[in-house]
Structure 1
Amino acid sequence: MDRELVSPNLFIVGAAKSGTTSIHNYLNQHPEIHMCTPKEPHFLINKEIGVNRIPSGVINSEEYYDLFYKGKSLTYRGESSVMYLMYPEIVIPKIKYHFGDDVKIIIALRNPIDRAYSGYHHVRRYNVKETNENFLSAWNVCEERYLQDNLMTPASRYKTLGMYYEQVKKYREEFDNVKIVFFEDFKHNSQNEMDSIFCFLGISSILVDQENKYMVGGWNWTNNYVKNLLVSKNKLKQFFKFVIPFKKLRKLIRNRLVDSYSFKTSEMSYIERKVLKDYYEKDILKLSKFLKKDLQHWLS
């Protein structure tokens, strides 16, 4: 296989919980773009951060390049490993070495305060290692816990994931083609933001199909046993796959269980928001100055 023909040249590097799944899938609708499945192989960081931290991550280089084989004749072949933004010191040299400087980088940014809260609930939903039922309790221990537990997902680094200034600065300084997308703008008018992305990529715009909603949050588990059963790999889960071979039926049963053992998450409390505002304020102001964009609304 000629790796040059199947090398990725488009990277959505983050941030997590900032609309990247929608952007990834909308890009994949374009006839000149192939976005890989899985969306987040995290190949460029898996070995460095620990191969057990992202179970769905890709380790083998041949497997990684195979993800882009279907796009070998297209203008763009892309991936969306959202933890890349947090590890520029690992990712940037690897992109340059393996794929060159002439790649396109997309960075989606969301108010880091809201991103952290959404990120916590996402990890609570889909990762059995997050056992803190209180957001601030998880927030206070997240970095120390990550260092102590080599099975803890980097998505649980709620603090560092939102420290955008240095992360964005490094990507902007090292690559000429970096597009910043703000979550609030994307949520308000997704088609307009996609048109801007297509323009950045130098390809014709298309009307994206927005019927499917991706990674809809706003809920969490009431029962940890049911969560562990549905989220983790286990023999009972494998048994149900054997006795119920129909994927749609399994999904229906799973959705019924989720409906029965979940609750709608509450909005951030005043105290929670204040704690995070105090933590992120300086970084937000530096990012605002660097990007020459008013981000005061993130602190209001």
Structure 2
Amino acid sequence: MTDPNFFIVGAPKCGTTALASYLSEHPDVNISKPKEPHYFLHRSADNRKITEYDHYIRLFSSKSNTTASGEASVWYLYSSTARRAIAREFPESKIIIMRRDPVDFFLSMHSEAVFCGSELEVDPERAWRRECERYVAHSVYDPIELISGWRNRYIELMQHDKYIREYQKTFGKEKVLVLTQEEMAEDVGEVYCRTLVHLGVSSDFRPDFKRVNQNKEARSAFVQKVLRGLTRNERLVKVSRAIKKRLGVGTFGVAEKVRRLNARTVSRPQVSEQFRDEVRRMLCRLDQNDEGR
């Protein structure tokens, strides 16, 4: 078993699931099971799947004596708690960050939130207008993962450059590899090779580059609502964590299997070029304001 020495920290809906899947096939790379333990989030965060260190380390036991061992908890990107904790526990770690076009990122995040049941506004443009009305600069709250509904704060979450800079400051630019979903879609082999070089393993191996995590909608809203309630029931979550720790596993995979069975692939809603320009202009202003601080 090798302690983690690299972290795919985000962003969500940017190709991290596919990248982690491809890396897991490499004989000299180990990916935790589950790939998103979110152990380093604030201890009160609701989606922290693994809460104890010895349990966390055992997630990396599927392969032994690999050069690269890591995980892909995508909400680490936004968490100052996670960033500092990783730097404290594993200061020599390599960091991988994936990003994408901000409008496509928003549309994908919104679609996922609707699918999971955390977003009730199905029209993306109306959801965006709502967020514009309630947006407050992130400096007001820290850590972000303790804010109610924070995974629907699309405007904050799409500010990838701000969070990339924080990781570069903490770990050094040479240890932070930034990739884009667009690059991956255009030439997945080249992106994969670059990642392997960053991790210091052989770049000769090529996996089956199958497409994963496509846009989807729920077949049954009722099933999604039940799943959401079960995964947020504190008593059930505590019992589940205790059993997982006792068995030495990170996940049972039951909820994920039900979600997959309840999902169907659909095309993402289209938005106007005017809306796209509006989103990009706002992001540009926010990024300029952050750089000016």
Asked if 1:135 corresponds to 2:124, the answer is: yes
User: Residue 62 of structure 2: SS of its match in structure 1?
Assistant: helix
Aligned 8 A contact 1:164 1:283 in 2: no
Partner of 1:105: 95
C-alpha displacement of 1:221: 4.2
Distance of 1:35 and 1:15 partners within structure 2: 17
Q: Where do residues 1-300 of structure 1 align in structure 2 (5 Å cutoff)?
A: 6-47=2-43, 50-52=44-46, 54=47, 57-87=49-79, 89-100=80-91, 102-126=92-116, 128-142=117-131, 152=148, 154-175=150-171, 176-205=174-203, 206-211=205-210, 213-217=211-215, 219-221=216-218, 224-229=221-226, 232-233=229-230, 255=261, 258-259=263-264, 264-282=267-285
Q: Is residue 165–residue 283 contact of structure 1 (8 Å, CA) maintained in 2?
A: no
- The 1-side partners of 2:220 and 2:273 are apart by 27
Query: Any idea what the Cα deviations from partners look like across 1:236-266, whole Å, max 9, x if unmatched?
Result: xxxxxxxxxxx99x969974x645xx86432
Quote the Cα distance in structure 1 between the aligned partners of 2:7 and 2:222: 37
Q: Distance in 1 between matches of 2:120 and 2:32?
A: 31
Q: 1:286 to 1:197 in 2, by over 3 A?
A: farther
> Taking structure 1 as reference, are residues 151 and 283 closer, same or farther at Cα in structure 2, changes over 3 Å only?
closer
Q: Indicate how the Cα distance of structure 1 residues 71 and 141 shifts in structure 2: closer, same or farther if over 3 A, else same.
A: farther
Per-residue deviation, 1:172:
1.4
CA RMSD of aligned residues (A): 3.5
Q: Secondary structure at the match of 1:233?
A: helix
Amino acid in the other structure paired with 1:60: E
Cα distance between partner residues in 1 of 2:164 and 2:259: 42
Distance 2:184 2:193 in 1: 11
Please list the CA deviations of residues 25-82 of structure 1 after superposition, one character each: whole Å capped at 9, or x if unmatched: 11111111110111111111141xx332x2x622222221111123442111110011
**For the Cα contact (< 8 Å) 1:46–1:59, is it kept in 2?**
no
Given that residues 68 and 200 in structure 2 are in contact (C-alpha distance below 8 angstroms), is that contact kept between their aligned partners in structure 1? no
Local SS of the residue matching 2:122:
coil
The residue type equivalent to 1:40 in the other structure is E
Deviation string, structure 1 residues 95-143 (Cα, Å, up to 9, x no partner): 121112x1111111101221011011011112x2321222234334456
When normalised by structure 1's length, the TM-score is 0.74
Superposed CA deviations along residues 121-173 of structure 1, whole A, max 9, x for unmatched, are: 011112x23212222343344566998x9695543221111112221112112
In structure 2, the gaps of 5 or more residues are 232-252
The answer to which structure, 1 or 2, has the higher relative contact order (CA under 8 A, 6+ apart) is 2
199 and 283 in structure 1: CA distance in 2 versus 1, 3 angstrom threshold: farther
Amino acid in the other structure paired with 1:111: D
**Does the 8 A contact of 2:42 with 2:82 survive in 1?**
no
Q: Secondary structure at the match of 1:197?
A: helix
Hey, what's the Cα distance between the residues in 1 that align with 2:122 and 2:193?
40
Per-residue deviation at 1:222? 7.3
Distance 1:156 1:253 in 2: 20
Q: Quick check: 2:4–2:71 contact (8 Å CA) kept in 1?
A: yes
Q: Report the alpha carbon displacement of residue 271 of structure 1 after superposing the two structures with TM.
A: 4.5
Equivalent in the alignment of 2:242:
none
The percent of aligned pairs where both chains have the same amino acid is 24
Contact 1:44 1:90 (C-alpha < 8 Å) held by counterparts: yes
Secondary structure of the 1:105 match is strand
1:107 is matched by which residue type in structure 2? I
* Aligned length in residues: 260
CA distance in 2, matches of 1:253, 1:265: 18
